[in-house]
Amino acid sequence: MSAQRSGKKVVSRNVAVALGIISIVFLVGLVGTILNYTSIISGKDNDISTRDSQIQTLTNQKNQLQTWLQGNNSIANLTASTIWVDSKTVSVQTSSENVWNFTANYAGYISVQVTGNPSTTGNFYVRVTYASHGVNYDNQINVGISGTAVFPVLPASIQIRVGNLGTSVANATVTIMYYY
């Protein structure tokens, strides 16, 4: 009986060793598989992060293009404007002019509002001159004591004059708007 027991012990020990080796092989395989999938997941996380960054860049570019397009639509429809002179009070001598120089980057128009002091004897005019694309523009509009004069403009250096044809010094408030 002891030889039979000893044979069972040897078989049991061999089975235990074999199961241990198989367990170690499975454990090593499992660790390798976990490391492999962890590496794959990390790579996918990096891919997702890169795609998110690219999407954000494209979204920013789209927003910039929309802003640029809205600005160009405003220019094309003459709804963009710039205040060149904002309610500036000037004193205009008889037969003299106040002169402003500006640059228009786009075709459009200029509106010049002159509001004289009712107690003065001013007789104001607005004169606009420029040269652009073969056009030499020089136009003067009389606005009396108060009024608004509107002039078409091309891209150019523009000179705007407010003068007084009256018989004495006159004060006026001048506002110049550029629409493009």
Helices (H), the chain: 2-76
The HSE-up count of residue 82 (CA atoms within 13 Å, CB side) is 11
- CA–CA separation, 156 and 138 (whole Å): 13
CA dihedral 142, 143, 148, 150 (to 10 degrees): -10
Give the predicted TM-score (pTM) of the model.
Answer: 0.66
- Domain 81-179 is found in CATH 2.40.37.10: no
| Interacting residues of 90 by C-beta distance below 8 A, sequence separation 6+ | 98, 162, 171, 172, 173, 174
> What would the pLDDT profile of 12-46 be if each residue is shown by its tens digit?
888 888 888 999 998 898 888 898 888 898 888 88
pLDDT tens digits along 104-153: 999 999 999 999 987 767 799 999 999 999 999 999 999 999 999 999 99
Pairwise CA distance, residues 143 & 127, whole Å: 11
pLDDT of residue 114: 97
> Would you place residue 96 in the very low, low, confident or very high pLDDT band (cuts 50, 70, 90)?
confident
